Amino acid sequence: MPVLSIHAIAIRVVLAALFGFVLPQNPDNTPLTKDDVRKLHNNLKNSNLRNVPKEEVERRGVDFELDSATAQEFKTSGMDQVLIDAIRRNARITAITVQCQPVECEVAVNNELIGQTVANVLTKSPIKPGWVAIKVNGAPGYGVQTAEVNVLPGQQLKVPAFNLPLLTGELAVTCKSAPVCRVKVKGKNNGFEQSGDTAQQKFSVQGLALGEYEVELNAAPEYFPKKQIVWISTPTRHALDVELTEDPWGSKTPLQVLDAIAGSLGGKEILNDARLSRNTARMQLAGDPPSIGNYPAVQVVETVAPNRLRWELTIAASKWIVNYDGTKTTSTGDKKFRGGEFAQELEHSIRLFSDMRLPLVLSRIREKFDIKKGTNMVLVADSKESGDERYTFQLNPDFSPLKVLHEHLTPPRSREEMEFAQYKSIGQDLKLPYVLILRYPDRPKHEHVFQYDKIDITAPVREEQFKR
């Protein structure tokens, strides 16, 4: 038997005695650990086999890198420089490199978190050779992936790249109010946007990346639009039920608006029940032009009938009566007012206060005007026959009139506006404004105010009360 073979067998026998096993002669033998190197050196340093540790290091390699502290330790234990240099040259570090796409990920090996990728890559060493379980967890909104790989001793294994799936969910929107809603789903941070109409009040969007979304529903003009924020937090179906609020303006036809105006005053009965009244009030007049004068505190007893109006005024210690019988106006009383601009203004304005009373205006519009809706809470009525007369209502949220602008659109053109305020109940069902303010858009400093103390719709009113 050749000497070399006998020597090799002897070495294997020694190694078997040292390590408790027979080492196979192939390049896949496990690299030596620090303890393996120490054991070989300590057991063979005083024998004629003292070169065996170096030979085994060169044959099998070591699974660690020789740092300065370990090198010093080995020198102290008696290792020569030749063996130490062999250890330094034959480091066979087992490692794995993990790649994640399209985002960074956390990496766990054998259920132990080892770190997070940087620029989508993470290398871990040393790794114990053998089957290794890898789990990667992507950024929020991305799924988890796993793999199992067999890492050979000393192998620098590049694991096939993990392509992390984007997690998506579904949004199911129910528009509970309107039969059909326009729905827009817009991602707050991901650029997603999709719109569509509900079918049987339902609208669904699939494939939504996890995150925050703004959902806008629109069923104009019958309902107010509405926006809601929803989080798609899990890759499941998310239900969003939205109740739209009816737009009291947009949902009504012009005739329904007219009915709502009458309803705000107590119903269509207002057209008849409030035609006659006897009232007490305080009148204020700021004249424009100034020559009309200013009258801040005038006591008035007022008698009202359809197309009829009578004012009995007490101005300080003076009396003045203005009467409108449906065709002409007259006035009488203290001679200091007779023929003056103040008296003329009262004769002019009494017609307007008569013509602009809500029961009369609403009756005229219903019978003789075409009506249409303007912008929000504005109703416009044009005379059917001549087309030269127009009423424009500005309405309160409860549809009670706030202002009514009356215009003559053909020469001689004119515009006058009545404002209504402080609505109060009259009797059991009716509501009337207790403040009436007459203004002229072309005379901005003119203002004629009636503030009622009492409106009595039960007082007897006779035709002869309107005769001079």
Q: What is the pLDDT of residue 17?
A: 53
Does residue 284 share a domain with residue 154? Answer: no
Buried-exposed string 230-239: b where 16+ CB fall within 10 A, e elsewhere:
bebeebeebe
What is the pTM (predicted TM-score) of this model? 0.63
Q: pLDDT grade, residue 26 (50/70/90)?
A: very low
Q: What pLDDT is recorded for position 276?
A: 86
Overall average pLDDT of the 210-221 stretch: 93
CB 282 within 8 A of CB 298: yes
Whole-number pLDDT of residue 23:
42
CB-count exposure of residue 342 (10 Å: 0-12, 13-18, 19+): buried
The domain tally of the chain equals 4
- Asked whether residue 371 falls in the same domain as residue 276, the answer is yes
Residues 172 and 236 in one domain: yes
- 5 against 383, higher pLDDT: 383
pLDDT in tens, 452-462: 999 998 888 88
Judge if 121 and 190 occupy the same domain: no
Tell me what the pLDDT averaged over the chain comes to: 88
- pLDDT the model gives residue 398: 93
Domain boundary, last residue among 182, 208, 242: 242
Split at pLDDT 50, 70, 90, the class of 407 is very high
70 and 112 in a common domain: no
Residue 118, pLDDT above cutoff 60: yes
pLDDT band at 14 (very low <50, low <70, confident <90, very high): low
Kindly state whether residue 65 falls inside one of the protein's structural domains.
yes
The pLDDT value recorded for residue 154 is 79
Same domain, residue pair 199 and 292: no
As a whole number, mean pLDDT of residues 409-432 equals 91
12 or 20, which is more confident: 12
Q: Pick the last residue of a domain from 89, 123, 151.
A: 89
What CATH number has the domain bearing residue 172?
Answer: 2.60.40.10
CATH assignment of the domain containing 459 = 2.50.20
Same domain flag for 298 and 192: no
Pick from 255, 311, 324: which is nearest to 280 by CA? 311
Query: Residue 125 has what pLDDT?
Result: 84
223-281 pLDDT, tens digit per residue, is 999 999 999 989 999 999 999 999 989 999 999 999 999 999 988 776 676 778 899 99
For residue 200, is pLDDT > 50?
Answer: yes
Q: Which two tokens stand for residue 168?
A: 């998506």
pLDDT digits 0-9 by tens, 342-370: 999 999 999 999 999 998 899 899 889 99
**Is 305 in the same domain as 409?**
yes
Q: Give the DSSP letter of residue 148.
A: E
pLDDT at 24 over 50: no
Q: Give the model's confidence band at 422: pLDDT under 50 very low, under 70 low, under 90 confident, else very high.
A: very high
Q: Are residues 105 and 76 part of one domain?
A: no
In terms of average pLDDT, the best of 32-36, 138-142, 174-178, 346-350 is 346-350
Whether residue 249 is contained in a domain is answered as: no
Per-residue confidence (pLDDT) for residue 12, from 0 to 100:
55
- In one letter, which amino acid is 69? A
Percent of all residues in the chain with a pLDDT value above 90, rounded to a whole number: 62
For the cut 90, the answer to whether the pLDDT of residue 395 exceeds it is yes
Task: Choose the final residue of a domain: 187, 210, 242.
Answer: 242
Indicate if 209 and 157 belong to the same structural domain: no
* Comparison of pLDDT for 338 and 24, the residue scoring more: 338
Contact criterion met (CB below 8 Å) for 258 and 362? yes
| The pLDDT of residue 65 is above 50 | yes
Question: Which residue, 92, 77, 81, 78, is CA-closest to 31?
Answer: 92
Q: What is the largest CA-CA distance in the chain?
A: 159
171: CB partners within 8 A, 6+ apart: 185, 204, 205, 208, 213, 215, 230, 232, 237, 238, 240
Percent of the chain past pLDDT 70, that is, above it, reads: 93
- 189 part of a folded domain: yes
pLDDT at 25 exceeding the cut of 80: no
What per-residue confidence (pLDDT) applies to 426?
A: 85
Write out the residue range of the structural domain in which residue 271 sits.
254-466
Helix (H) or strand (E) holding 81: helix 81-89
Burial (0-12, 13-18, 19+ Cβ within 10 Å), 327: exposed
